[in-house]
Structure 1
Amino acid sequence: MFSKFFINRPIFATVISILIIIAGVISIKLLPIKEYPAVVPPQINVQAVYPGADGKTLSKTVATTLEESINGVENMSYMTSTASPSGLLTLSVFFQIGTNVNQAKVDVNNRVQLAMSKLPTEVQRQGISVKERSPDMLKVIAFTSKDQKHDTLFISNYLKVNVMDDLKRIKGVGEALIFGEKDYSIRVWIDPQKLSFYHLASTDIMDAIRSQNNQYAAGRIGAEPMEEVLPYTYNVITKGRFKTTKEFKNIIIRSNQDGSSLRLKDVASVELNSDAYNSHAQYNRDPMMPVAIFLSPGANALDVSQAVDDTLKELSKKFPQDLEYAFPYDATIFVKASIEEVIVTLFEAIGFVIILIYLFLGNLRATLIPVLAIPVSIIGTFAGLYAAGFSINLLTLFGLILAIGLVVDDAIIVIENVERILRTKNHPSVKEATIEAMKELTTPIVAIVLVLSAVFIPAALNGGFSGVMYKQFAMTIVIAVIISGIVALTLTPALCAIFLKQHEPEPIWPIRKFNQFFDWLTTVFIGITRAAIKGWFFALILFAGLIYATYAIMEKTSSGLVPAEDKGVLMVLTYMMPATSLAE
């Protein structure tokens, strides 16, 4: 018999349970922590820039070409594109749930490269980025300048040079973005009247800037082949790209035959400023630069959030004195509070289960056995979650709460059967009674595990968003039940042979009174059952009425994927007419 091996070797049974607990504890440290399972399909973002183009031009010349090339990529579900008046095209490609994100990124990038030759030259020169976009925004960091000593252009460039690289290197950060990023650039404001006076076009200005603001290879002095042998070879290094506004102002647009020249400053004003003015952000009425932190797939939200805080705290020691930061949005606040509440509920459920077990079993020795089985099953479940690639989230924790009442059932059945045999049959020892009890219970315990698994496994096989959501909930219960069955066949009978006695002492007074009340309640229930059997027709009518009432109430009850919860965040979106200015 399977259980007899462990009854005779209680230390071996204990070691197995300890190994299960150790595996569970290690898995708790490794499992990612989230609010809900990842249900958003994998997303790949393609960004292209066409300087000076409007949204319609972007759609016709860039978006259409890229969409035709990317359409039909393996496992693609759908894609959306947004063309902004600033010349930025964002194309989002969504894939089926479960698709390998890295492979999807490679497939999309290959399609983009095939379409590259069909795009305008300006778009090719700017380059096209293909990035994986995680749907999990962890937090938004607002960087402001105290008393507005520095403008947002300075803040944006300071963040880009001194902060963003450190944030991106944090383990678990999928992407760090500066919303409305502003880079220093030379802005040339052309005077159309002066262009007309000098018979020039804007393309002449662009060609002159492009040709003179460049890095040219000027060659080498003394390079082979040479008739004479020279001891050294010298590289000729030109000045290269311009660095100041004065150098840009002196770009020669046209040289005249009399030796005079027309320079850029004669037809345009040149200044050092931001490359874009398409966004404006404020935090407590102060101008700010927002930085968004996105999680990488499978990352632990709480650990990554803490790492971001620690990194910013360390970097802030080198910040300019006026540079400050705050967190207007932090998803981990609600996640942390939710997880803590569920954990409290988990311990409360364990406490109630222990009290109920003691009330019904009536002695501390018998109560201790299922109490020891609870942590083995619950903590061991985390090892199963890690092996299945799940995460610690609200649904898996809810599954554990529900599983608490299920994992003790097998242990209680074993204890009750051993005590029954001790009361009704004469056995030389508790060990022999336990062996006989397990002969009777091995098959029923396996059947219980299989039946409970058969109840919850179909919920894990549903497709769509609801299937992904409740797969982890259902499989958490199945894993816990399977481990509880293993414990009931190994550890529980070994503990019964050790802790139980042939003659248990009389229960204490509260337990005796509870048993008297329960016996009276059992008598009342038997009487009601007899009456229901005699009046079976009315019982069937009552049963049918209950089914109808249940169906009617269910039809009127509102439904949803998850319950609405107050996360303490209010977002207001205002949609304006096309071509509305930023100031408006």
Structure 2
Amino acid sequence: MLVHRIIEWSLRNRFIVIVLAAGLFAWGVFAVRENPIDAIPDLSENQVIVFTEWMGRGPRLIEDQVTYPLVTNLQGIPRVKYVRGSSMFGMSFIFIIFEDDVDIYWARERVLEKLSTIARQLPEGVAPTLGPDGTGVGHILWYTLDAPDINLGEQRAIQDWYIKFALQNVPGVSEIASFGGSQQEYQVTLDPNKLLYYKLSVPEVISAIRANNNESGGRKFELSGIGYIIKTSGYLQSLDQIRDIPVKTQGSIPVKVGDIASVQMTGEPRLGIFDQDGRGERVGGIVVMRYGENADAVIDRVKAKMKEVAKGLPPGVQFDIIYDRGTLIKESINSIKRTLIEEMIVVSIVVIIFLFHWRSALSIIIQIPVTLAISFILLNAFGITSNIMSLTGIALAIGVIVDNGIIMSENAYKHLSERYASTQKEQL
């Protein structure tokens, strides 16, 4: 039999077997260091999310004009299991679920190709975009800004225009999702009675504001060997500039935006607020990890980057981390490591006591670290992270490893004793 031949070859080539075992053990130690670490296994589906924004429209209109065309056309992508759609006020979400063995970036490319052919079927101004290349368990760190002396609008501006761009450059980070506060915007509130009095319509006012919020370039003008670039600077920079925009001329008198509307700086309408510990509203961000990255390493890199970013924040502003999976990862991994070490020690003592033969016990005990090291080689080969479930499975398998070793040792001892007894009889 093949097993008998392997055992016979191993007995005749002990040195080669020892070298192979040592090589596998060294490879396993290297695999332990390279294996990604996370607290929980990623059991989410292999999916690509398509997000479409069409503000001001109701869920029924979003469903008919955006979600339905996208769902029906995205179903033709190869290796797709199914497509789900969700419509809400002003937004549409499409979830394309691929087969488990499909590469996520290949799937995203196929979705982008399909979206380029669907755009003409959607309403004007509607542009579907892909969601971040993260998974359902990709939210690895949440933080807020502790800024008691700065209003929410300024905090959100700091988050969106400084912190977000800095943290997005960290390797392994897919997206920094901002939350809380209010995004500042110019708001023009029209008076319907004045529109009726001046015989103006809403589209005329919108067109006038858009036409006066623009820049255009001219030609290059050379004079005395010096080149000058001609351009017009027309971007709106203050509330007064918006109020002074002429909309229509009546009897040589211009009707300005300020005559028919109130102009103010305010935040966009919000559907909710983010309150922390009952102490009031906060502004912050969510760090989304890229697909297939090492969560523990990404969190460490993000924290190091946050220390650099904190140097450029206004006085009195600092980060407040409210959720950190790194703490959970370290506590979970340390707990499993401690359990593994305790099991190895207890098993070794039990083996020594019951066998009471140091060579047999040593041959069994050596199998434990070698087998554990080799298991991490397989974890890396199949893309499995070191998490609570995988390490617990390894811990449970120690008993099986030792059991096989004891059976083989007892079997070998039995055959040797029988052979020794038969030899003694022949001598007698």
Report TM bin, short chain. Answer: 0.7 to 0.9
Q: 1:426 to 1:93 in 2, by over 3 A?
A: closer
State how far apart, in whole Å, the 2-side matches of 1:40 and 1:266 are. 56
What SS does structure 2 have at the residue aligned with 1:178? strand
Do residues 297 (structure 1) and 291 (structure 2) align? Answer: yes
Percent identity among equivalent residues?
22
Given candidates 109, 112, 129, the residue that maps to 1:106 is 109
Map 1:265-414 onto structure 2 (within 5 A). 265-284=258-277, 285-414=279-408
What is the CA distance between 1:207 and its match in structure 2?
Answer: 0.6
What is the CA distance between 1:262 and its match in structure 2?
Answer: 1.4
Between 1:288-297 and 1:51-60, the stretch displaced more is 51-60
Q: Residue 179 of structure 1 contacts residue 289 of structure 1 at CA under 8 Å; is this kept in 2? A: yes
What residue ranges of structure 2 are gaps of 5+ in the alignment? 422-428
Q: Residue 180 of structure 2 contacts residue 282 of structure 2 at CA under 8 Å; is this kept in 1? A: no
State how far apart, in whole Å, the 1-side matches of 2:81 and 2:13 are. 56
Q: Once the two structures are superposed, what CA deviation does each residue of 1:321-344 show, in whole Å capped at 9, x if it has no partner? A: 332332333344444333332222
Q: Once the two structures are superposed, what CA deviation does each residue of 1:73-131 show, in whole Å capped at 9, x if it has no partner? A: 331422122322xx3333333333333221222222222222222333232xxx43212
State how far apart, in whole Å, the 2-side matches of 1:330 and 1:230 are. 63
The one-letter amino acid paired with 2:286 is A
Name the residue aligned to 1:135.
Answer: 136
State how far apart, in whole Å, the 2-side matches of 1:407 and 1:382 are. 15
Name the residue aligned to 2:424.
Answer: none
Given candidates 53, 65, 86, the residue that maps to 2:57 is 53
Instruction: Name the TM-score, length of structure 2 as normaliser.
Output: 0.87
Q: Residue 76 of structure 1 contacts residue 95 of structure 1 at CA under 8 Å; is this kept in 2? A: yes
Q: 1:129 to 1:10 in 2, by over 3 A?
A: same
What is the CA distance between 1:388 and its match in structure 2?
Answer: 1.9
Q: 1:98 to 1:9 in 2, by over 3 A?
A: closer
Given candidates 404, 410, 424, the residue that maps to 1:416 is 410
Q: Residue 145 of structure 1 contacts residue 151 of structure 1 at CA under 8 Å; is this kept in 2? A: no
Q: Once the two structures are superposed, what CA deviation does each residue of 1:31-75 show, in whole Å capped at 9, x if it has no partner? A: 222344332112322222224333333333323332333233331
Q: Residue 137 of structure 1 contacts residue 292 of structure 1 at CA under 8 Å; is this kept in 2? A: no
Map 1:526-545 onto structure 2 (within 5 A). none
The one-letter amino acid paired with 1:402 is L
Name the residue aligned to 1:219.
Answer: 219
CA RMSD of the aligned region, Å?
2.7
Q: 1:420 to 1:89 in 2, by over 3 A?
A: closer
What is the CA distance between 1:182 and its match in structure 2?
Answer: 4.2
Q: Once the two structures are superposed, what CA deviation does each residue of 1:423-462 show, in whole Å capped at 9, x if it has no partner? A: 44459xxxxxxxxxxxxxxxxxxxxxxxxxxxxxxxxxxx
What is the CA distance between 1:168 and its match in structure 2?
Answer: 1.9
Name the residue aligned to 1:121.
Answer: 124
The one-letter amino acid paired with 2:258 is K
Q: 1:171 to 1:16 in 2, by over 3 A?
A: same
Map 1:224-243 onto structure 2 (within 5 A). 234-243=228-237
Name the residue aligned to 2:99.
Answer: 96
Greater relative contact order (Cα 8 A, min sep 6): structure 1 or 2? Answer: 2
What is the CA distance between 1:213 and its match in structure 2?
Answer: 0.9
What residue ranges of structure 1 are gaps of 5+ in the alignment? 223-228, 428-584
Name the residue aligned to 1:263.
Answer: 256
State how far apart, in whole Å, the 1-side matches of 2:367 and 2:244 are. 83
What SS does structure 2 have at the residue aligned with 1:153? helix
What SS does structure 2 have at the residue aligned with 1:320? coil
Name the residue aligned to 1:449.
Answer: none
Q: Once the two structures are superposed, what CA deviation does each residue of 1:193-217 show, in whole Å capped at 9, x if it has no partner? A: 2111111111011111111211223
What is the CA distance between 1:5 and its match in structure 2?
Answer: 5.6
Q: 1:319 to 1:372 in 2, by over 3 A?
A: same
Q: Once the two structures are superposed, what CA deviation does each residue of 1:461-487 show, in whole Å capped at 9, x if it has no partner? A: xxxxxxxxxxxxxxxxxxxxxxxxxxx
What SS does structure 2 have at the residue aligned with 1:177? strand
What is the CA distance between 1:349 and its match in structure 2?
Answer: 1.9
State how far apart, in whole Å, the 1-side matches of 2:355 and 2:72 are. 71
What SS does structure 2 have at the residue aligned with 1:237? strand
Q: Residue 245 of structure 1 contacts residue 272 of structure 1 at CA under 8 Å; is this kept in 2? A: yes
The one-letter amino acid paired with 1:281 is F
What is the CA distance between 1:6 and its match in structure 2?
Answer: 5.1
What SS does structure 1 have at the residue aligned with 2:31? helix
Name the residue aligned to 2:426.
Answer: none
The one-letter amino acid paired with 2:85 is T
State how far apart, in whole Å, the 2-side matches of 1:43 and 1:248 are. 45
Between 1:374-383 and 1:5-14, the stretch displaced more is 5-14
Q: Residue 139 of structure 1 contacts residue 327 of structure 1 at CA under 8 Å; is this kept in 2? A: no
Q: 1:351 to 1:41 in 2, by over 3 A?
A: same
What is the CA distance between 1:158 and its match in structure 2?
Answer: 0.6
Map 1:140-159 onto structure 2 (within 5 A). 140-147=141-148, 149-159=149-159
Q: Residue 249 of structure 1 contacts residue 270 of structure 1 at CA under 8 Å; is this kept in 2? A: yes
Q: Residue 143 of structure 1 contacts residue 323 of structure 1 at CA under 8 Å; is this kept in 2? A: no
Name the residue aligned to 2:242.
Answer: 248
Do residues 77 (structure 1) and 71 (structure 2) align? Answer: no
